[in-house]
Amino acid sequence: MQVLAFNGSPRKKWNTATLLGKALAGAASQGAATELIHLYDLRFTGCISCFKCKTIGGKSYGRCAVKDDLRPLLKRVEAADALILGSPIYFGTVSGEMRSFKDYTKVLVTRFDQEHKAKRRQEVFSQDCRQAFDLGARLVRQG
C-alpha cells in the first residue's frame, strides 16, 4: 500500500508537518510505503481554467495540460492507495498552496455532479454577491 501525505504549511518541521509525520509513521507501522511531500517546495499555481482537461477527444482530456511541478505528482496521486492532506488554518481556511493543490477542477473528476454544482451556483451565488455588496457598504459606513 502507498500512502502520500501533503504538507500545505510553509514550515517543514512545525505542527502540520509533525502531525503528518505521525500519521505516516502509523501507516508505515502497518506495512505501507509512505512519503511526505511539501507543497511549498513545488512550483505550481493551481487550475488556470484552460479546460483542456475537459475537452472530450483532446490530447489532455482527463488530465491537467499545465506543465508545472504537479504534472508528474498527479500520476503518483492517481496510483496511491491513500492521501493525507494537512494544512494550517490561515484566515479561516487552508493555506493557499493547499487550496491550489486540492482544486478538483484541475483534473477530470466524475464523482462531482456538474449539474448540482451549476444549480447551487445559480441558487447561492446571488446571495454571496449580496453579502459581498453588504460587506463593502458596511466597511464604508463604519470606516
43-78: pLDDT as tens digits: 887 777 788 877 888 887 877 788 888 878 888 888
Identify the pLDDT of residue 109. Answer: 53
83 phi, psi to nearest 5 deg: -125, 140
Chain segment 77-128, per-residue pLDDT in tens: 888 888 888 888 888 888 877 887 776 554 555 555 678 777 887 888 788 7
Q: What is the pTM of this model?
A: 0.65
Compute and round to an integer the Cα radius of gyration of the chain: 19
pLDDT at position 25: 92
Q: Please tell me the distance from the alpha carbon of residue 77 to that of residue 83, in angstroms, as a whole number.
A: 8
Q: What is the pLDDT of residue 91?
A: 83
Please tell me the predicted confidence (pLDDT) of residue 113. 67
Contact 104, 49 (CB under 8 A): no
In this predicted structure, what is the pLDDT of residue 107?
52
Q: What's the pLDDT band for 7 if we cut at 50, 70, 90?
A: very high
Q: Look at residue 95 in the predicted model and tell me its pLDDT.
A: 80
pLDDT at residue 68 in the model = 84
Nearest 5°: phi and psi at 127?
Answer: -65, -40
Q: Cα–Cα distance between 61 and 38 in angstroms, integer?
A: 27
